[in-house]
Every structure is written in structure tokens, then in C-alpha cells.
A and B are shown apart, each in its own frame.
Chain A
């Protein structure tokens, strides 16, 4: 069977695009794996003559404490976000009350605001709460500004759990907590995974909050450290590239391993009703 030319054209276009999308990763990898003698800009595209991990080692040495900071912040923030989102989604779908739609609408809007418009009050308030400049301050910030999206994802997810199930339990005398623990929570695992991945990725990748809330370099997360490293021009560019790859690795791994859930979070974020 011969391929019709239109099929060939389709695959050609798809492959070309794939190459363009992968090009940055290629450059990141070959640059990071070169020895310092080989990292001249003119040789950007050449394969390394021998595999050297010096750039990665150096990038890791200057980023390791920041990577630890990122993990220390992301984990509690993600867990707290999941819990809050789950409870809110549960209430807003199964215990609707007059005004609950309005609350949902007001929550949702919080997802879209430019965070610049709350930055100055945020700094002042975190200072009053004595968490300014600490990772906990950043955790609180991420959890609060994560409420809209996590609530949205869980709400959409719980909307698919038949309300009759919950109504029947209500009539049987089950309490609000019992219904949650016995019916909702056991069915929630995919929702938790989606939200956890979403929050993990977006909190890990955040820059604006990190740079304003944890301006003390010792406790800054990886994105800020990477930006400082790249902004300094003093750090060799191969080390910058290696640093970029290291900083991207956790979310890339999550994407590769759990891509399906990642896409579901994306679609929920796109408000697909």
C-alpha cells in the first residue's frame, strides 16, 4: 500500500513542528553535557565530543539549596491546596445554599487577577503576620491564591458524582462529614491527583510571589535563583542552561509520568464547563 501524498505532507508538518518544539531541549542537553572548553557560542549546536557533567555539577551546586527550598514550599502548599479545594468543591456541588453560586463566581475571578494588583498589600500583610520572608509566608500565599483553581477543578469533578447518591445518604441520616468520608473522598482520588499535579507545577514554576515574598536569597525557590543566575551574566551560559534544565526537571518528570492528569488540570483551568 502506498501512502497518499497528503499523508506524507501531514507527517512532514507534524515532524517538523516536533523538531522545533524539541530544539530548546536539545540545546539544553548538549550544552549542559559539554566540557567548559567546548561551550563557545559558535559550537552551540554541536554534539559534545565527550560527555561531561561539569555544568550540571556546577549548576546543581549553586541551586541545590534553592531546589530544597522549592520542595519545602511546594509540598505543604500542594497538600493544603488539595484539602481546601476538595472541601470547597464538595460544598459547592452537594451542599449548595443561597448565594453559593455568587461565592463561586467571586472565587473564580480571583484566578484571573494580575497578582501585581495585590503585591504591595501582600508584602505589608505578611509582615504583620510575621511570615514575610519565610517559606511559610510563601506557602500561605500559594494556598490562598490557589483556592480558586483548586475549587474549580474539584467542583467540576464532583459535579459528575451523582447527586442522588448524596441525597440518599442525607435522608439516611449521614452527616456532612460522613458523606464526605464515606462517599465523596473515596471517589476523589483522580481529582486529588489532578489538583496535586496542577498545584505542584504552578507553584514550582511561580516567580512573582517567590521574588517578592522570599526576597532573602537564602530561602528563595529555584525559579528565582535561576533568574538571578541567568541575569548575572557572570555565570557561564552552559551553567545557566544546565541550571534551567535542573529547575525544570521536577515538573517535566511529573509531566512525563502523569501527563494525562496534567492535561485534565489544563482543561479544567480552561473552564470547560
Chain B
């Protein structure tokens, strides 16, 4: 008995070696293609590589310094922040609204769900092509009111170069200045109107996903909990506020991370829909990286942009990965 136990243990040890061997190809592939390549890009980002021909001469952080002084990159940072806030906010709001409506024993729920979710199956390129025409100034949504007899809308959508910001010569601008925040009165801390067009298209594509997540979250809340509250005389709004919303906090967090990291990486939608936009109003780091690398041949700058994008994503995702893996381990 004892010796057979040993044999089993020995056999399992060798089987475990086989197990490790089986995972080695994937582990090596990811080690090289993800971590190795990131390191390689990092090397390029501190190099002098500025033509099509590689040049790995070390130049320190010069490229990063150039970037932060580059007005286009400054606009890109502004756009990314504005886009992320609007896009995540819109998706969470619409997704939650649709989920809580669908959760109320709606007939045809499956059909509604499928309709809200189908844009997820479509590529960002297709979304971009379609919405570019839907929001074209002389077409699409602007002429829709004509069909019901109203006048057409005169709005430029993604061609509108307006940036909303606090002007330095207004009362608010002066107030900011007096408290040492005068630098905020600058278009670089404004909201470019054109980017809302991209937000609309992206929200059309992604809000269904948030809806599905919330719906699953709502279904996971025991009915008894809400029934009990109803018996106690709570209104639907109160139930939503005091039971559903707090219990859905993990879902909200997950959705925010997923959407947030997507908006940091956004590229396909912008390249097919608006490209840089008027005065870079819809420019994003992903597009800047692509153009500066493969059009301007500034490979080192392109690599520096990509490393900054990676850092931004990491700050968001790594704590989340720890959090969700720990949560999973507890379950």
C-alpha cells in the first residue's frame, strides 16, 4: 500500500512535469511576444530611431520630453480624458437604465437584449464607416427631422472645431487665475465638441455589453431581498438606490475598467470615422502613434507614445486583476 502510494506520487510528479511542459509553449510565446516585445519597444522609445532604418543609439528620456512638449500629444491627452469620461459615463448610464428596465419582467426581453447587444458583434471599422455618414453635416441625423416635416439641423458634429473651455478674460477665468489655477483657462483643459460624435458611435457599440453585465448582476440579487423591501413599503426607486446599486458595485467597477482601458486604446473607430478631426479634436494617442511611426517615420516617438499608453492601461488594469483574482480565490 505504502509503496504503491509512492509509485503514485512518483508518477504524478512526472505527470506534473508533462503538465508544465504542455504550458511552456504558450508561456514562452506570451513571454516573448508580450513581455519581450514591450521591453523591445521600451528600448526603441529611448533610442534615436528616426528614419525607416533602425538606430538604437541611446538618448535617455528625450523622446518622452519631446512628447510632453508636443502640442498634438497634449491635445491627445485632453481628448483621451474627455472621451473616457463621456464614453464610460454614457455606457454605464444607458447600460444600467436598459438593464433595470429589462429586469422588470418585460415581454420580449430576449429580443430587446439581442437588439441592444448586436453592435458588439460588429467591428469598430464598420461602426466608424456607418456613423461617419450618419453624422455627416449634410446628411444622416441632421436631415432626419425633415422627414417628419421639421427643419434640418445645422450642426457640424465631428467637423465642428469648437473647444469649450474657460476663457482667461471671463470672470471665471479671472477667478481661476486668482487662486493660482490660471493655467486651466486654456483649450488644453477644454472639451472638444467633435469628440462627442465618436462617443456616440462608441456608446452605440459598447453600451449593450454594459447592459448584459448589469442584467446578470441584477439577476444575481436574490428576489427575496427585494420582495422583503417591497413588503416593507419601499418604492422601486428606493430599492434601486439602497439595494441594487450597492450590490452592483463590483459590476460597475468591472465595467468601468473594461470600458476605460478600451478608451485608452481606441484606434480603429477613430481611423475609420473621423481621423484627427478639425484641429485634432478627435485625435487620440493610438492614431498619433500610428501616424508618427508609419507616416512620419519617427519610430522612437511612436514607441514612446505606445509605452505611455501601456503605462496608463497598466495603472488601471493591474490593481483590477489583483482584485478580481483575489475575489475569485475567496469564492
Q: Which residues of A contact B (CB under 8 A)?
A: 10-11, 13-14, 17-18, 20-24, 27-28, 41-42, 44-45, 84, 87-88, 91-92, 95, 97, 100-101, 103-110, 112-122, 124-125, 144-145, 147-148, 151, 170-171, 173, 175-176, 201, 204-208, 212, 223, 226-227, 230-231, 237, 240-241, 243-245, 247-248, 251-252, 254-256, 259, 262-263, 266-267, 269-273
Contacts and interface: CB of A to CB of B under 8 A. Distances in A.
B26 A84 contact: yes
Contacts of A45: 143-144, 147
A226 B128 CA distance: 11
Contacts of B104: 10
Given A45-B143, A120-B302, A121-B37, A176 B115 contact: no
Contacts of A115: 265
Contacts of B331: 273
A172 to B, nearest CB: 10
Contacts of A151: 26
Contact of A144 (B29, B125, B285): B29
B85 interface: no
A244 B267 CA distance: 18
A23 B286 contact: no
Question: Chain B interface mostly helix, strand, loop or mixed?
Answer: helix
Nearest to B273: A230
Which range contains the number of B residues in contact with the other chain? 35 or more
Interface in B83-140: 94, 97-98, 101-102, 104, 106, 112, 114-134, 136, 138-140
Contacts of A92: 23
Contact of A95 (B15, B212, B325): B15
B268 A207 contact: yes
Contact of A91 (B23, B106, B212, B313): B23
A114 B22 CA distance: 27
B129 A226 contact: yes
Contacts of B81: none
Contacts of B26: 84, 87-88, 107, 147, 151
B30 A114 contact: no
Given A117-B310, A273-B327, A13 B101 contact: yes
A266 B212 contact: yes
B1 interface: no
Contact of B122 (A14, A171, A248): A248
A248 B309 contact: no
B319 to A, nearest CB: 12
B305 interface: yes
Contacts of A100: 23
Contacts of A201: 121
Interface stretch (B69-77, B171-179, B183-191, B254-262): B254-262
Contact of B121 (A114, A252, A269, A271): A252
Nearest to B210: A270
Contacts of A10: 101, 104, 106
Contact of B129 (A116, A118, A230): A230
30 contacts: A14-B106, A21-B119, A22-B115, A24-B134, A45-B144, A84-B26, A112-B261, A113-B310, A114-B313, A115-B265, A116-B286, A117-B309, A117-B310, A119-B293, A120-B40, A120-B41, A145-B33, A147-B26, A204-B123, A226-B129, A227-B271, A230-B125, A244-B130, A251-B122, A255-B117, A262-B120, A262-B121, A266-B209, A267-B213, A270-B213
